[in-house]
Amino acid sequence: MSKPAASLSSGLGLPTYKAFGNGEVISVADLTATRIGKFLNIAGTVHHGFDTDRGDNLYNFDPEQPGHLAGRALEREGEAKPFRMQFDRKQSVDAVLEYGPDRTLTLRKIDWGKIE
C-alpha cells in the first residue's frame, strides 16, 4: 500500500487525506480541420474530465479507502458524509500545421484557451 500524498488532522486525533486513490483525466476533442493550401487549421473544444458519465466514483468510507476510519468518525459526529469525486472542464484549442514536401506535418502554432 502506498503512502498518502498528504494528511490532515480530523480534530479527533485521526488522520484524513487530501489525496488518495487512483484516477485518470480523460480528454475528448470536438475539432474541425480545414486545409488551406499547405496549411491545416484545427479548431474546437477539448473536454477534460473524470467520472462524468458513470457517477460511480463514490467515497463512502469503505475499509479499502484511505482515511476511512477518520471519515466514519467524522460522519458519526455529523461532520462528514459520502461524496462523489467528479471533474468536468473544457477549453478551446486553435492550431495551425504545415504540410511539408516529404509528407510531414509541422506544428506552427497552437493556442490553448482558459480552462472553464
CATH number at residue 46: 3.10.450
In a domain, 2, yes or no: no
Tally the domains of the chain. 1
pTM for this prediction: 0.57
User: What are the tens digits of pLDDT across the range 31-65?
Assistant: 999 999 999 999 999 998 876 565 566 777 777 77
Cell numbers representing residue 90 in the block: 473544457
Cα 20 to Cα 65: distance, rounded to the nearest angstrom: 8
> Which residue range is the domain that position 36 belongs to?
7-112
**pLDDT reported for residue 44:** 97
In a domain, 1, yes or no: no
Cell numbers representing residue 22 in the block: 487512483
Cα 4 to Cα 70: distance, rounded to the nearest angstrom: 14
**pLDDT reported for residue 72:** 84
In a domain, 80, yes or no: yes
User: What are the tens digits of pLDDT across the range 91-100?
Assistant: 999 999 999 9
Query: Nearest to residue 61, comparing CAs of 72, 53, 50, 51?
Result: 72
Cell numbers representing residue 63 in the block: 475499509
**pLDDT reported for residue 104:** 95
Across the range 92-116, mean pLDDT stands at 95
